[in-house]
Amino acid sequence: MTNAVSPSPLFNWLEQRAAGLLLHPTSLAGNQGIGVLDQSVDQLLRFLKEAGIRYWQVCPLGPTGYGDSPYQCFSSFAGNPYLIDLVALQRMGLLEDADLAPLRALPEAGVDFGALYGAKWPALFTAHANFKELAPELPYGDFAAFTRKNKLWLEPYALFMALKDHYQGQPWWLWDASVRFYRQATKSPLVKTIAERAEAYAFFQFVFHAQWQAVREKAAALDIAIIGDVPIFVARDSADVWANPELFQLDQKSGVPLRVAGVPPDYFSKEGQLWGNPLYDWARHASDGYAWWLQRLRANFILCDVVRIDHFRGFDTYWSIPADAATAKTGVWEKGPGLEFFEAVKHALPDCRLIAEDLGELSPSVHVLRKATGLPGMAILQFAFGGDNANTYLPHHLTANNIVYPGTHDNDTTLGWYAATDEKTRDHVRRYLRVDGSEINWDFVRAGYAAVSNLAVFPLQDLLGLGSPARFNTPGVAAGNWQWRYSADQLEQLHRHSANYLRELAELYTRI
């Protein structure tokens, strides 16, 4: 009689200990109304290098729409034009001081997305008009070559955005029937009318990708890897759905969703979360070997070294909610593509490095799937305390193939969380970590560095010791999210006073 041998996991990349920083680029310091890819990136990378931090984790980099969430983008392939450094375009002769003046009048302490919309887009379109008129040689390469190389996603995206402008921002399902879907729209006479507008959106992608690749090169030169983020679902009002309706659970004539995504009641919301994203027709994806998903992942690995897949559990089972439901409570669990999907990814991208966002209420089958894939999962220290010693997020239960965080972009800052939680939980934290709680943010940082998990990632807000006003996102709350920014002075002070300490922690706990 022989013992059965468990198959090796598909992916096994997280073998070295390291530390990371969680910070979305919109939070970078600067005077353009939002974080952009300018010298503030250089300042951040210098700090990371000196502190011995080897990963920079960001949220999705796509173009945001209503609500300004990076998890609800107009495209899962395109970059966010808000991140473009316009001063760089000014140096190239595409903009004047007057074009940047409205942006410089915006607040630097946070992002006013409404005011930003009115100030940045006119400047971007002016830059494109001057590019067409002056035809300068930009240091970004050949625009025509870029459009040819990326035609598969860029052409639908640019046309989608131009049509959205033509219809005053209305979602695509309210457009005229002749342009209701991409394949129809390409035959419409309207395409010629809006051709220049579409070219402008393609130009913005050309500039974004060039500026972001410069960031990647700077990071790589300092041995800093960038962790990106891919939401499992895409926004309904996106070029992805408009151009590929057959890949989603939609009425194929009207575009109306049949079922939508969300999660049942959990830690974040007693009502559950009704996201409203259209669900995939997984059988259709499987029929061509998950070609669209592989294209999407390849595009993200052009931007990042590692990719976190948000809502990993949806590949095992996903919460399917009737499209007309008022809350997420009425959903049911449906079977996802499972291991077959990750086998296809492994075959196409054998060396890719993925992270599984496996938070929330998980069934045993989700744990089985993650173990079979070998992907590192996530552990949140704020979720560890206040219960019993069986809590899997307590540091003594973690494994090497975990990524430990004090909290993520969806959590309060550690100072804010500790102040708001009950005394039983605070007492558990103090006894477990053997601290008095007076510097709870640094207590959690030290606990993260000491943990067995091979990667420990810390939000910048916790390194700065900030409270709840610096929270980046509150799930289920529609307004006030994604706005937080730090100042150059804050990072300079952190660099001066804490970079050496963080490097000492990295050396002490073998994360360097």
What is the set of active-site residues? 310, 357, 410
Contact 408, 382 (CB under 8 A): no
Amino acid at the residue 349: L
Instruction: Select from 148, 154, 133, 243 the least CA-distant residue to 204.
Output: 154
Burial level of 1, CB count in 10 A (0-12/13-18/19+)?
Answer: exposed
CA distance 258 to 278: 8
CA distance 204 to 120: 12
Instruction: Select from 412, 406, 416, 409 the least CA-distant residue to 467.
Output: 416
Stated as kind and residue range, the H or E segment containing 405 is: strand 402-405
Partners of 274 in the β-ladder:
262
CA distance 38 to 45: 12
Which structure tokens are listed for 449? 């560095």
CA distance 33 to 26: 9
Contact 30, 40 (CB under 8 A): yes
CA distance 453 to 405: 10
